[in-house]
Each structure stands twice: as C-alpha cells, then as structure tokens.
Amino acid sequence: MKVFLTAVLLFIPIAPTHAGTFITEEIQFTSHNTQLFGSIVRPKEKEIRAAVVFVHGSGKQSRNLKWAEKFAAEGIATLVYDKRGAGKSGGNYESNQSVSEKNINLLADDAVAAVEALSKQSALKNVPLGLTGISQAGWIVPIAAEKSSAVKFMVLWSGPVCKVSEEDIFSQYNADKDSNNVPTYDDALSARKVKYVWPDFLGKDSDPADNLRKLNIPGLWIFGGNDGSVPVDLSIKRLDSIKQSGHEYNYVLFSGLGHNNMEETFTIASDWILRLVK
C-alpha cells in the first residue's frame, strides 16, 4: 500500500451511561423545528483533546457508535446522530432528491445544530471542535463549516471536491463499483453519448469548492485509489488548485483502497486531529 501525502437551538441531555472506558450520553437537539437524536461518546479517564461531529454519507443513516467509540479511545469526544427521518430522529428522510440544493443545505443545518449542541457540553469547554464525515458529507461539511464559527477543522473520508453533477457522471460510468483500474473523470465524461444536463428542479449544482475557498480552517481528505463512486483524480486536482491560495488543506491517497476505507485509515484521521490540536 502506497501513501501519498500533501502538504433556535434546543438540546436535552439524558443521564449518561458509563460502560468500559467510555461515557455515552444521549442527546436531543433541534434543527428547523425537527427533533434530532444522537449520542455523545467521550473517554471516561483519558483527557479529551478534541471533539467532533460525524456527518453521514448518503442513505437513511442512523448514528454509528462504532466510530464514536474509536474516536473516544483516542481522546476525541464525538457526537453521532440519527439523520432526519432515520432512527429516533424526526422529520422526513429525502430519498428522491437527496442531492438537491435544498436537501444538502438542510443536512448542513442539521450538522450546524449538532455542533452547537456539542459546544454546550461542560466537559468540552475550551476543547477544539471539528466536523468529520464520509462520502456525501463532502458536500455537507464545507457548508456547515462556513455557517458555524465553532468549527475549527474538518476531516473527510472519500469526500468529493467537485460538483454533484461531476460525481454523478463518474459514479454512473462506474456503476459505483470500486476496482483496481478506476478510470479518470475525463474518461467517464468523454464516454457519455448524451450531454449531461443538471435538472433545474434540484436547484444549484452544489460545489464544495465555493465554500472551501471562503474557509480559513485546516482540513484533511482521505481517498482510496480504487474508489468507483467519487472522482478522486478530479477532487485532488481541485484541492491542489484551492491550496494554491494559501488554504491549509491536505489529502492522503491510498492505492488499493476503495470508497469505504474508514476501517483501514482511521488512525490517519485521529492522529492528524491530535497533532493539529497539540
């Protein structure tokens, strides 16, 4: 494996549970008049060095305690929550127009509300807060980070740094399948026999670069070279372009890994966060 590295809110906490080396606290907070439910997991004895909100990828996702516990084991408190319309959270899960401008911005507002809820935890006073996530979170997190001054860093696994339409062109061509010979974005684009037209009813064709250029916080992207869903080559090209204006954005590319690479690369993310806040 080769590695290439470049430089009105309401929350209602419920009594925490103490299991093993973690403290898990159920939490309820409000976004757009919708009650969202989640869990804050923090180390019981280890010093809390940082705190993060984990933002979902696509699909009807509920909170993932596995990643929260892995972060907590490294001294990073984590809020994981049920996406609106999933698990215990209220609201409607948007399945038909999940990448519409309206829905992406709504999910970004949910992430902002989660950050605000996390920031009010007394155990996390003066602890740097960040946003993490995977896949679709690549469009959501930069919007949320721009909206919330509490966000001091971001980490994204397989997060597209391209327009939604560009990811769609690439993922359609590959049928979302990882492979050892993933084509380039240009290959996918040139193979189209019909011009791609972004539907007006979806609103703006979201482009994270618009938000990333306005941010002044560090970020890390973790990519797999076999990713058949996100055009990694295009995303890296866009990141390199944005970095030229002085942004502290870094990425790591792992050959041999695909889209869902969190298990293999988790320590890359946690170590980066801990070095950042040291």
- Predicted local confidence at residue 248, as pLDDT: 97
> What would the pLDDT profile of 207-249 be if each residue is shown by its tens digit?
999 999 999 999 999 999 999 999 999 999 999 999 999 999 9
Alpha-carbon distance of 150 to 152, in angstroms, equals 6
Domains of the chain in sequence order: 3-277 (3.40.50.1820)
Mean pLDDT, range 14-24, rounded to an integer: 65
- Predicted local confidence at residue 45, as pLDDT: 87
Residues 6+ apart with CB under 8 A from 197: none
- Predicted local confidence at residue 21, as pLDDT: 87
Q: What percent of the chain is modeled with pLDDT above 90?
A: 91
pLDDT at 138 exceeding the cut of 80: yes
Alpha-carbon distance of 131 to 147, in angstroms, equals 12
Specify the pTM: 0.91
Residue type, 192: R
Six-digit token string for 182: 């993933």
Q: Which DSSP state fits 116?
A: H
User: Token match 């992430």: residue?
Assistant: 111
Q: Is the dihedral of CA 94, 204, 208, 231 positive or negative?
A: positive
9 confidence band (pLDDT: 50, 70, 90):
very low
20 confidence band (pLDDT: 50, 70, 90):
low
Backbone φ, ψ for residue 240 (5° rounding) = -60, -40
User: Half-sphere exposure of 161 toward its Cβ, with a 13 Å CA cutoff?
Assistant: 27
Mean pLDDT, range 49-69, rounded to an integer: 96
